[in-house]
A and B are shown apart, each in its own frame.
Chain A
Amino acid sequence: MPRNLPKTDVVIVGMGAAGGVAALPLTNAGLKVTGIEAGGWLSPRDFAPDELRNGARNWPQSVQKAATEAPTVRATSDEKAVQGGHPMMNAVGGTSMHYWAQSWRLNPWDFEVVSATRERYGADRIPADSTVEDWPVGYEELEPYYEKVEYAVGISGQAGNVKGRINTSGNIFEGERQNEYPMRPLRASPFTDLMSEAARNLDWNPFQGPAAITSELYDGRPPCQYHGFCNKGGCHVQAKSSTAFTTIPKSVDSGNLDIVTYARVTNVVTDNNGKVTGVDYVRGNETFFQPADVVLIASYAYENVRLLQLSKSRAFPNGLSNNAGQVGKHYLSHHQGSPVIALFPRDLHNWYGLPAQGVAIDDWADDNFDHSDLDFIGGANLWVHTDRKPMSAAKMGTFGKVRNWGSKWKKFIMENADRSNVAYIQKTTLPYEGNYLDLDPTVKDPMGFPVTRITARYRENELRIAEFSQDKMEEWYRAAGAIEIQRTGLGNAMGATTHAYGGTRMGNNSETNVVDRWGFSHEAPNLGILGASVMGTSGARNPTLTVQALSWRTAEHLANNWRSIVG
């Protein structure tokens, strides 16, 4: 039997990018919060500038809970799913410790794909097998929460539209903002200058992208030192605005947040009336029951869905909040692969760059261009950045110029190690019938619980965007003087990814969605869900800032409506 603990007001499952933000408005409102986290506390001492440790050794993910329960993957339901790796990490701060830290707002179009497409191009332009819906929340409603997060965690960037005033140094296509970013963008570099100039020559609109990285002294944290080990590495000076260094310590300081580390939640407990009463978790060899008035599930998309599917009860025989059969549906992995790779005739000076120090093009994203004569909807954000490390540089493609080993190859990389660049292209991705998450029938974690099974593949709309955006990317590289271009394949199965969406989608219709417009379950009124699992579209940019804005909004709604939600 689990050991019963004293009751708390709110349990948050997962102290990462989402839960770590939600804790702040809750604890500021005086609510007692218990954060249950599968990982532990990390410090800047844990983040050595070590490419092998971040990459091949995959520290610390390889030694953590997530690695033991990686999803299995297949493209269609008639294939056998195969287990791969897990892209996320467990820690206080979660993956916000070691992500690239690009911190975008979605474009207003991403919230209203159905109605905007119907209006501009006709309903038949929405892919027939897509289950996409308009969000129940528009950009304008989320805008204040974007701003709260940008200031609370610390985002650097250049606004392109403040109260309708367009600034061509920023993103002229972004939704209207009420205020500037709290910090100027990360600095430019010889390479970003080269690419910006090339884009302007094409009459495109380049701009430095927004990042959860300090560009100046902010809230007691020093500015970025540009040493460049952000990718799968934490920041050695806390310049990366992880929740572990921002909202979480503030919540702890309030005296209202207790964090239980190295604890894995195995079950969300419900009573016979369908209300949640708390969570069971395992820590070491002991099992505990943590009672709470409200439970917020804030683990990653795969784990949010899996925990609901594993939490079966009399009121929810098919898994928690799943009486309508929607848990696991409307799943999508962001189409962020299929890059274009370029070779330049001179050094690019990228040895000390970072993934979030780069130039973006939004001219071909969302509905920023006319799709009347095109065979897809949506688009892609084109991103070039300055990150380069020696091992990955030596593994560069050879553009068909030499065999990939031996003396000629060695001479090739000696000359070209700092001359290539790989574009990062994020594309509008939609949910479809036949793309879903469920429990794997055979593969289990070490505790004996089935892991998540991903059944999903990209469809025509995504593949057409991929091809279109590769054309644009090649045009941009050529304009900047690239002498060789390599394209990669357009994509097939949606593997486990850092950008996973859906499975507990947010929407007004309780027959097709798991949570309501505030992020609370349609079926269990005191259960909230945080994370990209509530998002119904991906947009063409990284999800974290939108996840955090939604989390803040759900938490604030809970604090303001405590009595009616607790009941």
Chain B
Amino acid sequence: MAGKNPNKNNKKQESEQPLDPSRRNLLKSAGIVGAAAVGSGAASNVIAQDSMRANSASSPITREALEVLTAEEAETLEAICDCLIPSDENGPGAYEARAVHYIDRSLASHNKGVRENYMVSLEAINNYSKQTRGEPFYRLIKDYQNSILSGVQTNKVPGCAPSGSGFFSMVRSHTIDGTFCDPYYGGNQNFVGWDMIRYPGIRLSASETDVAQGAALEPNHQSAYDHETYTKMASNMAMNRRGGNSNA
């Protein structure tokens, strides 16, 4: 499975350095390195370009904005998700699955009740990171990030809502949702989550032979909404679209 991720090596380097050169260049080209004020438009470009990199093997992502999170919140959250379900020698993780994209959208819909907890906690984590390490969380090396996140889980980072452990447990749960959900909701991009745990995919019918094969069954890589029966709108039915980028 590790071989499936063309970006794995880059990702690995980035996570071990304070600021990956390629990311620095990216930020530079977006005009926000050293800038006091961060324009949301420019920041969205950064996220979009990051996203394109993550998905270079598949179709490029077009016309995509953050629904709820600010650019800095998204970047902080992405670093957290990458600690929780890392991209590592065992293959892609929450980053490639685009768990943050899922969480951002979910905060505009079924998770909107906990928006405040995200905003407050992500800021608290960055504040703590700046105080103790001199940099916002998402610029730290992975070891430091893991150590701070442990502190969140054990209530040692002040200011999280509803509490450190409460926020940790919620963000862990949402990161799993975003990594293993139907790709229709913006996560589990390219089915990396389902492949990770060898889930052979949604089938409308499973025979005894299918069941007997277990994880040896060939993954079919389909969203529920690749089946015409379930397409959301009648107008979608003719388009035969693949799951992945639609609004949740």
Contacts and interface: CB of A to CB of B under 8 A. Distances in A.
Interface of A: 44-45, 48-53, 56-58, 62, 187, 189-190, 225-228, 236, 347, 349, 351-353, 390-391, 393-395, 404-407, 410-411, 413-414, 417-418
B48 interface: no
Majority secondary structure of chain B interface residues (helix, strand, loop or mixed): helix
A393 B110 contact: no
Contacts of B224: 48-50
A284 B185 CA distance: 32
Contacts of A226: 205-207, 211
Interface in B48-80: none
Given A45-B230, A58-B110, A404-B172, A52 B177 contact: yes
A354 to B, nearest CB: 10
Interface string B178-215: 01111011000000011011111011111110111111
Interface stretch (B16-24, B29-37, B83-91, B119-127): B83-91
Contacts of A393: 180, 197, 199
Contact of B179 (A44, A394, A411, A414): A394
B235 interface: no
Most chain B beta carbons < 10 A, residue from A52, A414, A417: A52
Contact of A349 (B109, B193, B214): B214
A319 B176 CA distance: 47
Most chain A beta carbons < 10 A, residue from B88, B181, B212, B215: B181
B93 interface: yes
Contacts of A58: 110
Nearest to B93: A410
B176 A394 contact: yes
A410 B85 CA distance: 6
A352 B211 contact: yes
Nearest to A349: B214
Contacts of A187: 208
B163 interface: no
B173 A395 contact: yes
B144 interface: no
A347 B206 contact: no
A391 B180 contact: yes
8 contacts: A45-B230, A53-B182, A190-B211, A352-B211, A394-B180, A405-B83, A407-B90, A418-B215
A405 B215 contact: no
B197 A227 contact: no
A417 to B, nearest CB: 4
Interface residues of B, number: 48
A390 B205 contact: no
Nearest to B179: A394
A417 B180 CA distance: 12
A-B interface, 7 closest residue pairs, ranked by CB to CB distance from nearest: A352-B206, A417-B197, A48-B230, A225-B205, A349-B214, A48-B224, A390-B180
Interface string B85-122: 11010100100000000000010011100000000000
Interface in B146-183: 146, 149, 172-173, 176-177, 179-182
Nearest to B88: A407
A58 B177 CA distance: 14
Contacts of B197: 390, 393-394, 413-414, 417-418
A477 to B, nearest CB: 20
A407 B230 CA distance: 36
Contacts of B205: 225-227
B229 interface: yes
Contacts of A414: 90, 196-198
A236 B225 contact: no
B196 A405 contact: no
Given A225-B206, A236-B204, A410-B85, 7 more contacts: A50-B182, A50-B184, A52-B182, A57-B110, A395-B176, A405-B172, A410-B93
A391 B224 CA distance: 15
Contacts of B227: 48
Nearest to A348: B214
A394 B198 CA distance: 11
A227 B193 contact: no
A48 B214 CA distance: 22
B85 A48 contact: no
Most chain A beta carbons < 10 A, residue from B193, B194, B198, B211: B211
Contacts of B225: 48, 50
Contacts of B196: 410, 413-414
A351 B90 contact: no
Contacts of B179: 394
A417 B199 contact: yes
A404 B224 CA distance: 29
A417 B93 contact: no
Contacts of B106: 56
A56 B213 CA distance: 29
